[in-house]
Amino acid sequence: MMGNRLRGVYSRRYFLNGAVALAFTNSRTGTAANTFGQAKTDKIRAFVGTYTGSGGNGEGIYLFEVDPQTGELSNRRLVARTPSPSWIATDPSRKYLYAVNEISDFGGNSGSVSAFVMDRSSGGLSVLNTVSSEGAGPAHLSVDPSGKFAFVANYAGGSIAVISIMADGSLGSAVDVHRDSGNVGGAHSTSAAPGSFAAGGHEAPHPHMIATDPGNQLVLATDLGQDRIYLYRFDPRLGKLAPTGSSHFVSLPSGDGPRHFVFHPNGRWFYSVQEEASTLVFFRYDPGAASLTPQQTISTLPPGFAGTSFASEILISQDGRFVYAANRLNDSIAIFAIGRRGELARIGETSTCGDYPRHCCIDPYGNFIYVCNQRSDNITLFRIHRDTGLLSFSGQYTPVGSPAMIAFL
């Protein structure tokens, strides 16, 4: 089924497919921000999740060594055979790794989440357990700052879930599940480029991302099918989510499809990428009032572009000066400067040098962007010019079957 989806240019989700990227996690905790731009000699590690099974060319989760000076990925090893681990994340202690399994047949009609313990000396993974994600086709997961709960967005199942994490790193049962219903947007995007046939995903609710805010006060979740971003109060003791009010969401234009988001390091500016519109929306965020107030909408596509493209990922540089957005079909990364009031100004774009960039991520030192090109079965590497925010291709291609995302340790 995935093979059909990959061959169908205008059908984005023929199959039940899916970090905030780990770079976002590091920007919240300060780990990477404190070393931004430094040249390091010690190698770091990267885990890559892939699509497996029918139509997917990956076999599970791969481990690479990373040279921080050149960005080169080397010594690839398959460290976990697990079905379609399309999103992965670590806990705050960096002892455990969690992966969604983007399937629909676990326990009948659900996806699943798998827990692994990491060998800190070798980087190897040993499976702890696998539990239901409480919905089909999980597309995203994140771990709360305490390491006690994992949040999961089930794209095909129309649900979000909070799953408890045990003291040994294994997963417990879901402590809270919310199912979105009704109120879907139009089949075609309101804000897409002229001539776009970017359609799909609005026949039902489709949660696509879920994560806490920088202060761990609220949990935010996008629903692509409903064109909404939900806000929930989070109880860090019990893991429960509570609506912030009678209308605990902000609406995007019909059919635009909010996918992923990222916070600015100041915690007050919030940027959302819309998949079917290929737009970025800048919001002002007020956690006390539990509000997102839209300020600006800007296209991720080159000026004058016409036709179909699907935006996939959004990143923010660790110094908070630049935003990057990936486009599938157009196969580019758009680059934006952040103004004094948080507004975005387009400063350029670059080809991903690959086909269908599903995910991209900034390394922990802020020097490189890695792009997972799902259809061309490779990861491409770009150097970040920190003074301008512009990117230059390194010439390095790393072969990986159907890469879905990359995360650093």
User: Measured at the alpha carbon of residue 215, what is the angle toward residues 91 and 244, in degrees to the nearest 5?
Assistant: 110
Residue 331's identity, in one-letter code, is D
Is residue 34 pLDDT above 80, yes or no?
Answer: no
Residue 144's identity, in one-letter code, is D
CB 115 within 8 A of CB 169: yes
Encoded tokens for 131: 């539990």
Torsion over CA of 111, 59, 328 and 370, rounded to 10 degrees?
Answer: 110
CB 16 within 8 A of CB 33: no
Encoded tokens for 332: 């580019």
Q: Can you tell me the distance from the alpha carbon of 291 to that of 72, in angstroms, rounded to the nearest whole number?
A: 41
Per-residue pLDDT, 14: 32
Per-residue pLDDT, 40: 55
CB 372 within 8 A of CB 404: yes
pLDDT digits (tens, 9 = 90+) for 209-250: 999 999 999 999 999 999 999 999 999 999 999 999 878 999
DSSP secondary structure string, 42-60?
A: S-EEEEEEE--STT----S
Q: Is 111 helix (H, G, I), strand (E, B) or coil?
A: strand
> Phi/psi at 96 (nearest 5 deg)?
-125, 150
Listed residue (387, 401, 328) closest to 48, CA to CA: 401
Is residue 6 pLDDT above 80, yes or no?
Answer: no
Residue 283's identity, in one-letter code, is F
Q: Can you tell me the distance from the alpha carbon of 235 to that of 250, in angstroms, rounded to the nearest whole number?
A: 21
Which residues are registered as beta bridge partners of 293? 284
> Phi/psi at 28 (nearest 5 deg)?
-70, -45
Q: Can you tell me the distance from the alpha carbon of 314 to that of 302, in angstroms, rounded to the nearest whole number?
A: 16
Encoded tokens for 304: 């004058």
Per-residue pLDDT, 409: 85
Mean pLDDT of the chain: 90
> Phi/psi at 35 (nearest 5 deg)?
-120, 20
Reported confidence tier of residue 140, pLDDT bands at 50, 70, 90: very high
Mean pLDDT of 97-122: 96
pLDDT digits (tens, 9 = 90+) for 163-190: 999 999 999 999 999 999 989 999 999 9
Q: Can you tell me the distance from the alpha carbon of 196 to that of 334, in angstroms, rounded to the nearest whole number?
A: 18
3-state helix, strand, coil in the chain (%, to 5): 5, 50, 45
> Phi/psi at 22 (nearest 5 deg)?
-65, -25
CB atoms within 10 A of CB 139: 31
Per-residue pLDDT, 5: 33
Q: Can you tell me the distance from the alpha carbon of 398 to that of 213, in angstroms, rounded to the nearest whole number?
A: 33
CB 102 within 8 A of CB 137: yes
Q: Can you tell me the distance from the alpha carbon of 96 to that of 407, in angstroms, rounded to the nearest whole number?
A: 13
Encoded tokens for 394: 């390194």
DSSP code of residue 199:
B
Identify the CATH assignment for 2-408 out of 3.20.20.70, 3.40.50.300, 2.130.10.10, 1.25.40.340.
2.130.10.10
Is residue 10 pLDDT above 60, yes or no?
Answer: no
Comparing 19 with 344, the larger pLDDT belongs to 344
Those residues with Cβ within 8 angstroms of residue 251's Cβ, 6 or more apart along the chain or in another chain: 227, 228
pLDDT digits (tens, 9 = 90+) for 299-351: 999 999 999 999 999 999 999 999 999 999 999 999 999 999 999 999 999 99
Domain ranges of the chain: 2-408
Listed residue (262, 406, 276, 226) closest to 342, CA to CA: 262
Q: Can you tell me the distance from the alpha carbon of 279 to that of 319, in angstroms, rounded to the nearest whole number?
A: 23
What pTM does this model have? 0.90
Residue 125's identity, in one-letter code, is L
Q: Can you tell me the distance from the alpha carbon of 322 to that of 219, in angstroms, rounded to the nearest whole number?
A: 24
